[in-house]
A and B are shown apart, each in its own frame.
Chain A
Amino acid sequence: MSGGVVVLGTGMHPWGKQGRPFLEYGLAAARAALRDAGIAWTDVQYLVGADTIRNGYPGFVAGASYAQALGWTGARVASCYAACASGAQAVDLARTRILAGLCDVALVVGADSTPKGFFKPVGGDRPDDPDWLRFRLLGATNPAYFGLYARRRMALHGSTPYDFAAVKVKNARAGALNPMARYRATVTTEEVLASPMVADPLRLMDICATSDGGAAVVLASETYARRHAAARDLVRLAAVSTVTPTFPNTVLELPNFATDSCAAVPPPERPFRAAIAHAAYEEAGLGPEDLSLAEVYDLSTALELDWTEDIGLCPPGEAEKLLRDGVTALGGRIPVNPSGGLASFGEAIPAQALAQLCELTDQLRGRAGGRQLDGPRAGLAANQGLFGHGSAVIVTR
């Protein structure tokens, strides 16, 4: 694809629970991405910040906050919030502007600093906000929804807590090889099964933590990239999918109380998660069989199995088989979450779709260290933002 958009540089701040302002993480990630791209901040024509809602005014206007932290240059700027899909939507904004010929090089940054414990709604008495109401009326935390999906999977496909634990074991093994990951210890199935129950049937080690972290990418037009990074293999951004669900959405989505009704209109051919990946495949002109790796949204171990099927790596109900056969592990035919996934990173909401893109890029550039796959050609990252934000990215070499 000539005249396309490429990932010129990536950068991250190590994830953890350091308790520092999100701007520090974002700034460190941005500087790393600029260094990697071989350009100066003053070369950047457009900056997009993925917003964080937990960090007040600067978090709501993340684009300008990062611009101020880097030093005002007069660059064009945007801020965007799409919950977990914020990073992908920020990438889409930058990509679209480059494709439109309005700029040649753009910086996209996301970072978060999270409190301890469950994510909770913004404070105040807000009975017209479904996110506030689900806590008030039902005590329905995010892990409660993950628990519902996991139980449903057990009932439909016969999955067991051992299968779920095996996902964590696989991802922890990959995360142990990733210097940016928060959790770097390998774990055993027994340890997962002995960890405290949080949201039946999911245990503490089945559920991703809340983390601090930052990630950034520099995107550029291919022409600009060839001028500035001629000697290097270019990683192309082949697709960004930001679809909404199609009515009626018959899967109970966070933070809703109910699904849409299919009494008057039949359900769509593809459920939402599958539609997110499908739109990206269509845009890239690729299919699941072309992928060398995938980063999917393992908010829980069980959810990784759902996503493995939703992105088309196998038919529904067969993800456990891929897992058991080692197909989705490092060294397998199609590694899933070679970065270690959210299991190893935890959630830093505006950063995580960008972190996924960093891993795809590192793998395609052959610089993923101990996690490096053998000559990957294409990778997909999939994610889903609260309230119906699709998010998938495909990169190719």
Chain B
Amino acid sequence: MTYAIEGWFAVDDDGVVLLGTRCAACGTVCFPPRHGSCPNPRCEGTDLEVTRLPRRGRVWSYTSSAYPPPAPYVAAQPYEPVTLAAVELDGAGLVVLGQVAGLTAEELEVGMELELTAGPLADGPLVWMWRRAS
């Protein structure tokens, strides 16, 4: 199983999780994982530990693309509209954007609960995605 990007998410026995970082000094959480220095301007922390982010959250907003996005996106043939959701993770204080699996824009609503999954890009590698919460 190839990941479209290394170190941003993992698929294991518990399912799919996003991997963020947490600053040991101030507790600030980041996605994608960040290395080197904390983004909080009042913190000089450099110890950013990889952390598993909450797997569920509520839709902040959503959209779908009626036309194929340009490269480097590889669109399926025939093209199926890409649906995107920005999801406010439970208790992490941040919104994460991802493709949506198994739901169209018509079926989404702001505030709706989604959970993390993963699915393949048209050329094979896996990427994190959002799906209806079980």
Contact = CB atoms under 8 A, between A and B. Distances in A.
Interface in B76-92: 82, 84, 86, 91-92
Interface string B41-75: 11000000000000000001111111111111101
A132 interface: yes
Contacts of B41: 247
Interface string A135-156: 1111111011001111110110
B28 A263 contact: yes
Contact of B65 (A121, A132, A141): A141
Given A140-B84, A155-B111, A247-B39, A263 B94 contact: yes
Nearest to A139: B69
B110 A151 contact: yes
Contacts of B98: 138
A102 interface: no
A111 B31 CA distance: 35
Given A138-B84, A139-B82, A151-B61, A262 B66 contact: no
B84 to A, nearest CB: 6
A147 B63 contact: yes
A258 B96 contact: yes
Contacts of A250: 94-95
A197 B29 CA distance: 36
Contact of A135 (B61, B63, B70, B96): B70
Interface residues of A, number: 47
Interface string A189-204: 0000000111111100
Nearest to A149: B61
A148 B86 contact: yes
B94 A261 contact: yes
Contacts of B68: 139
Nearest to B74: A136
A258 B95 contact: yes
A155 B61 contact: yes
A386 interface: no
A150 B60 CA distance: 11
Given A121-B72, A263-B27, A198 B97 contact: no
A134 B93 CA distance: 21
Given A151-B62, A262-B93, A262-B94, A133 B5 contact: yes
A265 B26 contact: yes
Contacts of B16: none
Contacts of B84: 138-140, 144, 148
A257 B31 CA distance: 8
A136 B4 contact: yes
A263 B63 contact: no
Contacts of A150: 63
A252 B97 contact: yes
A259 interface: yes
Contacts of B66: 196-200
A260 interface: yes
B117 interface: no
Contacts of B92: 261, 263
Given A138-B99, A199-B63, A261 B69 contact: no
Contacts of A21: none
Nearest to A262: B93
Contacts of A256: 97
Interface string B85-128: 01000011111111100000100011100000000010000010
A193 B117 CA distance: 35
A74 interface: no
Contacts of A263: 27-29, 91-94
A136 B72 contact: yes
B30 interface: yes
Given A199-B63, A252-B86, A260 B94 contact: yes
Contacts of A260: 28, 30, 39, 94
Given A155-B110, A155-B111, A252-B86, A199 B96 contact: no
B40 interface: yes
B127 A137 contact: yes
A38 interface: no
A265 B28 contact: yes
Contact of A257 (B62, B97, B110): B97
8 contacts: A127-B5, A138-B84, A140-B69, A141-B70, A152-B61, A252-B86, A258-B30, A265-B28
* 7 A-B pairs closest in CB distance: A147-B63, A263-B93, A139-B69, A155-B110, A139-B73, A152-B61, A120-B70
Interface of B: 4-5, 23, 26-32, 39-42, 60-73, 75, 82, 84, 86, 91-99, 105, 109-111, 121, 127
Given A151-B62, A152-B61, 12 more contacts: A118-B69, A135-B73, A136-B73, A138-B84, A139-B73, A139-B75, A144-B82, A150-B63, A151-B110, A247-B39, A257-B31, A264-B28
